[in-house]
Copies of this chain bind each other. A is one copy, B any other.
Amino acid sequence: MGRVRVDLNISLDGYATTTDQTPDDPIGQDWHRLTAAYVATRTMQERVLGQTSKGTTGIDDDYAAAYFEGIGAEIMGAGMFGLHLHPDDPDWQGWWGPNPPFGCPVFVLTHEQRPSLEMEGGTTFHFVQTSADETLARAREAAGDLDVRIGGGIRTVRPYLAAGLVDRLHVGIAPILLGRGENLWTDLRELERDYEVTSEVAESGTVHVTFSR
């Protein structure tokens, strides 16, 4: 059976979400600062932005490449799919474009009932109303021997972490202080006792910390 994996970008003070969105700047500057080193990698440039032969190589890119390796199914919240952006549009296919970077079944947790969406490149979005446990069971079955990723956002990830269901947690810590948002570390006291924790610093200054078991 594969592992359950989580990869997140967080700030030095633990925040995984940003709070400076405005109507004119719907993503916000903090999100760019939080994810800049990751987005800049060759892997993310190629896989997500379709820019070949661009981007950084090195430690950040090693983690970005590993992000896509060995994943057989993904679980994400409705926000990560983008359901909230067009709530009343049954034709909205999410903000990942016609060829999403997942290449596997993706289970989107939502109260909204929608037919599954088969996209290019092997990604199929399934919209599910199941519990965290039930969704994981379904994702494991879809993944077979491969790993399941809990993609995000933070509110989707945390129940899996708190329940001890995550086998590998990797955080890319940007050396910035956001001061507000949703904090990954809330109520995870002594999480490390069930894991081996290793860290390394990328050329960009991002500190990569990995909890694995």
Given A14-B13, A201-B200, the answer on whether A191 and B209 have CB atoms closer than 8 Å is no
B200 touches A175 (CB 8 A): no
Which residue on B lies nearest to A208, using beta carbons? B201
Which residue on B lies nearest to A190, using beta carbons? B177
Would you call A180 an interface residue if the criterion is a C-beta within 8 Å of the partner chain's C-beta atoms?
yes
Please pick, from B176, B177, B185, B199, the residue contacting A13 in the complex, using a CB distance under 8 A.
Answer: B185
What is the copy number of this chain in the assembly?
Answer: 2
Given A13-B185, A198-B205, the answer on whether A192 and B179 have CB atoms closer than 8 Å is no
**Taking the nearest CB of chain B, how far is it from the CB of A208, in angstroms?**
9
Q: Give Cα distance in the complex from A191 to B176, angstroms.
A: 8
Please pick, from B179, B190, B201, B209, the residue contacting A190 in the complex, using a CB distance under 8 A.
Answer: B179
Would you call A178 an interface residue if the criterion is a C-beta within 8 Å of the partner chain's C-beta atoms?
yes
**Taking the nearest CB of chain B, how far is it from the CB of A29, in angstroms?**
11
Residues of B within 8 A of A188 (CB): 13, 177, 179
Residues of B within 8 A of A187 (CB): 179
Q: Give Cα distance in the complex from A185 to B173, angstroms.
A: 14
For the residues of A in contact with B, the DSSP-based class is loop
A209 touches B209 (CB 8 A): no
**Taking the nearest CB of chain B, how far is it from the CB of A153, in angstroms?**
19
Would you call A197 an interface residue if the criterion is a C-beta within 8 Å of the partner chain's C-beta atoms?
yes
B197 touches A205 (CB 8 A): yes
B179 touches A209 (CB 8 A): no
A12 touches B185 (CB 8 A): yes
B191 touches A185 (CB 8 A): no
Residues of B within 8 A of A191 (CB): 177
Known: A175-B192, A177-B191. 17 other contacts (CB 8 A): A12-B192, A12-B209, A13-B185, A14-B14, A175-B197, A175-B209, A176-B192, A177-B189, A177-B190, A178-B189, A179-B186, A179-B188, A179-B189, A197-B205, A199-B201, A199-B205, A201-B201
Residues of A at the B interface (CB closer than 8 Å) are 12-14, 175-180, 183, 185-192, 197-201, 205, 207, 209
